[in-house]
């Protein structure tokens, strides 16, 4: 994992330094009068007068201490700006992952056990449409339907303006109402994907000899499916869970921007628009590291799902 | 040629995939002949018809500058076609080269290249694309290149896996024995046999690239107005969400139909090209 993190930082650094024009020019392009001396001072401030590899190692040294420098936009520390955005993004991602699991697994299992049934065909069609729908378009349609036409759900932000006057329960309900659309939409694509994977994974398991054995000894269908088949089908599903983390984090850019949710995605979008390089670099690296953590969690949960992994680790 | 006919026959068995293929064909014709088919000039501003709902003159309505939505959607199909094919072309070329080298030579080269793939996969793709696009000039060309260069990893893994198993086969040893060079072994002997999963991945890749482009254009980082693209029409839809539902509905529907068609074709191709199913059929 450490070499991977090293590689991630190297690529991030390279990408940003491929940029034509450097931070100094970005900051001084507004004021043509900025003197040559002022430019030199700024360059020194960012260490841009040093050779590239030294700049990289300087940046890396500060990165280990989670110091990404200060934002060009408001002069605040990048790490503070990121940390205050993480909880809401994480909340939405975790909620939508839970939603994905609750909805997708039953769909997958049911269409695998009743292969070629009407339910299976319908869910297959749903999966294809789910894969092909631009989520931001779905967001717009649902905003029109529930927000504009029916007036049921708020269409932006994570809380109403007057929350401070509300009772605790009302405030919670207000918060939930704001999250329904974003969480539902970020889960949408995942539901399609995961129900497909759990279907094919179940199909593979159901054909195994031990399932036939279990059925042959007269066990109930329900028991065979949930005790014998499902646990074995979970393995590949867990892998997909780990792999879906970057998609969820990256997808946040669009729907956080649409719904005006102050999360990492929206911060990233606004920093790319204002070319706020320190913030861009910080979020790129942290996003990639969160992805690695997603993979790590997937690896660890193998041990819970598959006893064989546990045994081989002890030896 | 007989092989092609067999593949075509197997492909045509899946009715939905055939429907997808026909839709793709229709879309290609639509974008090639956009100037002839579109009823209006897609950039012609009409101040008397601003945001008018679907009517006889404008079947899908008009946008905030009175431009005909149907014509803009038809012209927008050109963008998605271009981005889809060129971005995937770049991704496949990069993926094949890296996957082939990695699988053919193995050892340290393989380790380094595959770690590189791991690193690229760790970035949330959309973040990486945004970061690169934000520092470059925003144009359709930039988008195609950036989408291509951030989506080659799956192809590389597929090609590598094919090479790992194919290079041990007898026909490769035979070619090596008669003195074929590495280049010849890779490109003439192994690669043609490793291509069918690449075709499938490419079809799905076109669908993915179209989705990414529409997202970028929606955020204002892709195709710039007045040139119409499905994504940037949707931006207008969002700005006028309270008054003009048609601006949100129809461009997205166009994206959905297009992407769905490519996905269906990909699914059909996968089944038609799957050698495991070939075996099953022979028995």
Q: A48-105 pLDDT, tens per residue?
A: 677 778 888 888 888 888 888 888 778 888 888 888 888 888 888 889 888 988 999 8
Distance CA A220, CA A22 (A): 68
- Res B266: pLDDT: 92
Q: What residues form DSSP beta bridges with B7?
A: none
8 Å CB contact of B124 and A272:
no
Chain B residues with CB-CB distance to A253 below 8 A: 126-127, 130, 219
Nearest to B213 by CA among B26, B86, B89: B86
Q: Is the pLDDT of residue A297 over 90?
A: no
- Give percent of chain A above pLDDT 90: 3
CA distances (Å), origin A35, targets A29, A31, A32, A254, B74: 12, 9, 8, 39, 51
8 Å CB contact of A15 and B132:
yes
Nearest CA in chain B to A294: B122
Q: Whose structure tokens read 């779905």?
A: A138
Q: Tokens for A184, please give them.
A: 């539902």
Tens digit of each residue's pLDDT (9 = 90 or more) over B242-266: 888 898 999 999 999 999 999 999 9
- Res B252: pLDDT: 93
8 Å CB contact of A137 and B234:
yes
Nearest CA in chain A to B136: A19
Mean pLDDT, residues B1-25: 86
**B282 lies within 8 A of chain A by CB:** no
Mean pLDDT, residues A255-264: 86
**B19 lies within 8 A of chain A by CB:** no
Of A134, A272, A292, which has the smallest distance from its Cβ to B215's Cβ?
A134
Chain B residues with CB-CB distance to A138 below 8 A: 252
**B123 lies within 8 A of chain A by CB:** yes
| Residue of higher predicted confidence among B100 and B46 | B100
- Give percent of chain B above pLDDT 90: 51
Nearest to B265 by CA among B9, B4, B12: B12
Nearest CA in chain A to B237: A140
- Res B72: pLDDT: 92
Q: How sure is the predictor about B24, in pLDDT bands with cuts at 50, 70 and 90?
A: very high
Q: Is the pLDDT of residue B126 over 50?
A: yes
Distance CA A225, CA A110 (A): 10
Q: Is the pLDDT of residue A172 over 90?
A: no
**CA B276, A214, A193 angle in degrees (round to 5)?**
50
Taking the CA of residue B281 and the nearest CA in chain A, the distance in Å comes to 19
- Res B281: pLDDT: 55
Of B119, B127, B245, which has the smallest distance from its Cβ to A283's Cβ?
B127
CB pairs under 8 A between A and B: 133
| Residue of higher predicted confidence among B34 and A31 | B34
Chain A residues with CB-CB distance to B124 below 8 A: 246-247, 249-250, 287-288, 291
Chain B residues with CB-CB distance to A282 below 8 A: none
Of A254, A280, A288, which has the smallest distance from its Cβ to B123's Cβ?
A288
Distance CA B105, CA B253 (A): 46
In 3-state terms, what secondary structure has residue B112?
helix
**B14 lies within 8 A of chain A by CB:** no
Q: Mean pLDDT of all residues in chain A?
A: 81
* Mutant choice from A14, A90, A134 vs B, greatest count of B C-beta within 10 A: A134
Chain B residues with CB-CB distance to A272 below 8 A: 130-131, 133-134, 221
Chain B residues with CB-CB distance to A137 below 8 A: 214, 234, 248, 251-252, 255-256
Q: How sure is the predictor about A314, in pLDDT bands with cuts at 50, 70 and 90?
A: very low
- Res A315: pLDDT: 41
Of A254, A283, A287, which has the smallest distance from its Cβ to B218's Cβ?
A254
Hey, which residues 181-210 in chain B have their CB within 8 Å of chain A? 207
**CA A97, A100, A106 angle in degrees (round to 5)?**
140
Taking the CA of residue B189 and the nearest CA in chain A, the distance in Å comes to 33
- Contact by Cβ (8 Å): A158, A185: no
- Res B29: pLDDT: 93
* pTM for this entry: 0.86
**B105 lies within 8 A of chain A by CB:** no
Chain B residues with CB-CB distance to A258 below 8 A: 238
8 Å CB contact of B124 and A8:
no
| Residue of higher predicted confidence among B43 and B100 | B100
**B250 lies within 8 A of chain A by CB:** no
Q: How sure is the predictor about A257, in pLDDT bands with cuts at 50, 70 and 90?
A: confident
Taking the CA of residue A169 and the nearest CA in chain B, the distance in Å comes to 30
Q: How sure is the predictor about B116, in pLDDT bands with cuts at 50, 70 and 90?
A: very high
Taking the CA of residue A215 and the nearest CA in chain B, the distance in Å comes to 26
- Res A224: pLDDT: 84
- Contact by Cβ (8 Å): B115, A3: yes
Helices A78-113 and A230-243, axial angle in degrees (round to 10): 150
| Residue of higher predicted confidence among B89 and A315 | B89
8 Å CB contact of B207 and A287:
no
Chain B residues with CB-CB distance to A280 below 8 A: 131, 134
Q: Mean pLDDT of all residues in chain B?
A: 88
8 Å CB contact of A143 and B128:
no
**CA A44, A50, A56 angle in degrees (round to 5)?**
110
Taking the CA of residue B176 and the nearest CA in chain A, the distance in Å comes to 36
- Give percent of chain B above pLDDT 70: 96
Of A25-29, A249-253, A300-304, B181-185, the least confident: A25-29
Of A11, A275, A291, which has the smallest distance from its Cβ to B134's Cβ?
A275
Nearest CA in chain A to B220: A273
């Amino acid at each position: 994992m450490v070499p991977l993190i090293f590689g991630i930082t190297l690529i991030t650094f390279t990408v940003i330094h491929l940029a034509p024009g450097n931070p100094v020019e970005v900051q001084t392009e507004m004021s043509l009068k900025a003197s040559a001396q002022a430019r030199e001072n700024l360059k020194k401030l960012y260490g841009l007068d040093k050779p590239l590899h030294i700049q990289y190692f300087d940046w890396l040294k500060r990165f280990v201490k989670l110091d990404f420098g200060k934002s060009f936009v408001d002069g605040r520390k990048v790490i503070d700006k990121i940390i205050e955005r993480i909880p809401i993004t994480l909340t939405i991602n975790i909620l939508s992952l839970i939603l994905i699991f609750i909805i997708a697994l039953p769909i997958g299992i049911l269409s695998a056990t009743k292969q070629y049934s009407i339910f299976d065909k319908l869910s297959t069609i749903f999966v294809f449409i789910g894969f092909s729908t631009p989520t931001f378009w779905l967001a717009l349609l649902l905003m029109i339907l529930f927000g504009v036409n029916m007036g049921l759900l708020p269409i932006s932000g994570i809380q109403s303006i007057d929350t401070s006057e509300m009772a605790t329960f009302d405030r919670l309900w207000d918060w939930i109402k704001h999250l329904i659309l974003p969480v539902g939409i970020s889960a949408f694509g995942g539901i399609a994907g995961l129900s497909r994977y759990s279907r094919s994974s179940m199909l593979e398991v159901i054909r195994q000899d031990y399932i036939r054995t279990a059925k042959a000894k007269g066990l109930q269908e329900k028991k065979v499916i949930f005790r014998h088949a499902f646990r074995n089908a979970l393995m590949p599903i867990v892998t997909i869970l780990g792999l879906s983390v970057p998609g969820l984090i990256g997808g946040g850019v669009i729907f956080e921007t649409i719904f005006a949710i102050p999360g990492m995605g929206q911060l990233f979008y606004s920093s790319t628009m204002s070319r706020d390089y320190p913030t861009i670099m910080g979020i790129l690296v942290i996003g990639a590291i969160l992805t690695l953590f997603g993979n790590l969690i997937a690896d660890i949960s193998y041990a819970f799902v598959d006893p064989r992994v546990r045994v081989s680790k002890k030896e | 040629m007989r092989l092609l006919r067999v593949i075509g026959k197997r492909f045509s068995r899946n009715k939905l995939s055939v429907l997808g293929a026909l839709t793709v064909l229709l879309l290609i014709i639509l974008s090639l002949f956009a100037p002839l088919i579109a009823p209006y000039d897609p950039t012609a501003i009409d101040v008397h018809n601003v945001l008018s709902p679907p009517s006889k003159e404008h079947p899908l309505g008009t946008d905030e500058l009175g431009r005909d939505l149907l014509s803009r959607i038809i012209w927008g199909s050109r963008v998605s076609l271009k981005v889809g094919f060129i971005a995937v072309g770049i991704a496949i070329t990069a993926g094949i080269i890296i996957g082939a080298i990695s699988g053919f030579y193995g050892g340290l080269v393989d380790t380094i290249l595959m770690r590189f793939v791991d690193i690229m996969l760790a970035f949330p793709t959309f973040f990486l694309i945004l970061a690169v696009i934000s520092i470059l000039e925003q144009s359709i060309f930039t988008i195609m290149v950036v989408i291509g260069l951030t989506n080659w990893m799956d192809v590389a893994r597929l090609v590598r896996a094919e090479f790992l198993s194919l290079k041990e086969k007898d026909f490769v040893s035979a070619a090596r024995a008669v003195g074929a060079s590495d280049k010849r072994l890779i490109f003439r002997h192994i690669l043609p046999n490793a291509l069918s999963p690449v075709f499938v991945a490419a079809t799905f890749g076109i669908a993915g690239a179209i989705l990414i482009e529409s997202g970028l254009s929606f955020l204002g980082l892709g195709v710039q107005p007045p040139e119409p693209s499905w994504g940037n029409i949707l931006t207008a839809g969002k700005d006028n969400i309270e008054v003009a539902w048609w601006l949100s509905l129809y461009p997205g529907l166009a994206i959905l139909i297009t992407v769905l068609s490519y996905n269906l074709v990909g699914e059909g191709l996968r089944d038609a090209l799957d050698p495991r199913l070939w075996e099953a059929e022979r028995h």
